[in-house]
Amino acid sequence: MLHRSVYLFFALVSVLCYGPSAQRQQSQATDNSYVPAEVPDTSAGFQSQVDELVRVAKTRDQANWQIALATFSLPNTDSWLQANFAPEHLAQLTSDYAKVRDGHLGRLSEVIAHNQDAPNFRIHVAPSEMPAPPSSERPESQLPLPLHPVRVQNFRLTVIAGSGTMPPSWVSSLVYADGHFRVVGGTYPFWAEALQQIRRPQGPFTVNAARILHKVPPEYPKKARKAHVEGVVRLHAIIGKGGDIRDLEVVSGDPLLTDAALKAVRQWRYEPTLLNGEPVEVDTTIDVIFALNH
C-alpha cells in the first residue's frame, strides 16, 4: 500500500492569476531582489507560506506576487515527475499537472484578490485527513501510480475576515520540495479529483464528488468563543440521491463546536451525483472549521 495514498485526477478550475504563462512571468521577475524565505516541513510552515502570499498580495507588487505564488508550484515539474513516475505516463502527467496547478493556484489567487481588503483578512490552514488508498480492482486501478511511496500532505484552507461573506473552504494536496509546499491536487493528490464512495449493494464505486449548491456557514458558539476554542469538527454524512444531507453524525471535534457544525451542515444541499445517468447516494466526510480572528 502506498504511503498516505496516491490518486490521479483531472479537474479543471478557472485560472485567474496563475496560468500557462506563469513560467514566462516568473522569468521576467528574476531580476527582482525579493526571495521568499524557505519554510519548515510542518503545518506552521505551510501557514507561514500562505501568510507570506497574502502579505505580498496586499503590497500590490505584481512582480513579487508572481514570485510568491510560484512557491506553490513544483520547481521543476519534468524532473519531479521523472523521479516519481514511469516513463510511459510522463507526457500525460506533464499536461495534467499544468491544468491542476493552474486551477488550484487560480482559486487561491481569486480568493485573495476578492477578500484581501476585508478587515482582519487571513487564510487559516489546518491538516486534513488523507482519503483511503485507491482500490486495486475498481476503475481507479487504471490510473498511473508513483513508482515508490510519495509523502503527500492534505491541508484545508479557510478564509477568515472581520466582515463580508467568505467563500467555502477547500482542500489541497501538497508535497514538500526545495523549501516550500507544492500543490499536487485537491482532496485526492495526483490528479484524480474528488473521488467519493458511492453507496450501492455491490459495494463502493468511485465517481466525481457531488458539487455543493447551498452552503450555510456555522454560527460560532458564544461559549466556544469566550473560551477561545477553535478547531475542526469532522462529520460523517450520507448525501441523498436528491442532494440532501442524511444520517449526519459527529466523527471528531470539540463538544463546544459540534452542535453548531451539525446545525449548519444539515442545511447544506448538493447537486445530485449520477452514476450511469442514475442518481446515487454518496458516503462522505465533511470538515467544518472554526477559527477565531486573532
| Residue 169: Cβ within 10 Å count | 22
Higher pLDDT, 29 or 152: 152
Flag whether pLDDT at 40 surpasses 90. Answer: yes
- What pLDDT does 65 receive? 94
Higher pLDDT, 134 or 168: 168
CA–CA distances in Å: residue 164 to residues 5, 56, 124, 290: 37, 22, 16, 16
Lowest-confidence region among 86-95, 106-115, 144-153, 280-289: 280-289
Range 161-172 average pLDDT: 79
Write the CB contacts of 205 (distance below 8 Å, at least 6 apart in sequence).
138, 139, 197, 198, 275
Average pLDDT, the chain: 77
Q: Per-residue pLDDT tens for 263-276?
A: 999 999 888 877 65
Q: Per-residue pLDDT tens for 56-106?
A: 999 999 999 999 999 999 999 999 999 998 998 888 788 778 877 887 888
Q: Per-residue pLDDT tens for 1-14?
A: 333 333 322 222 22
Give dist(CA 179, CA 133) in Å, integer: 27
Q: Which fold has domain 194-294?
A: TolA/TonB C-terminal domain (3.30.2420)
Give dist(CA 176, CA 180) in Å, integer: 6
Give dist(CA 105, CA 135) in Å, integer: 29
Q: Per-residue pLDDT tens for 170-189?
A: 888 899 999 999 998 876 66
At residue 232 the predicted structure's pLDDT band, cuts being 50, 70 and 90, is: confident
Domain ranges of the chain: 1-193, 194-294
CA angle 141, 147, 151 (to 5 degrees): 95
Q: Per-residue pLDDT tens for 194-203?
A: 334 444 444 4
- Name the grid cell of 174: 501538497
Q: How far is CA 62 from the centre of its chain?
A: 25
- 188, 144 in Cβ contact below 8 A? no
Cα torsion 272, 275, 277, 279 to 10°: value is -40
- What pLDDT does 124 receive? 94
Flag whether pLDDT at 19 surpasses 80. Answer: no
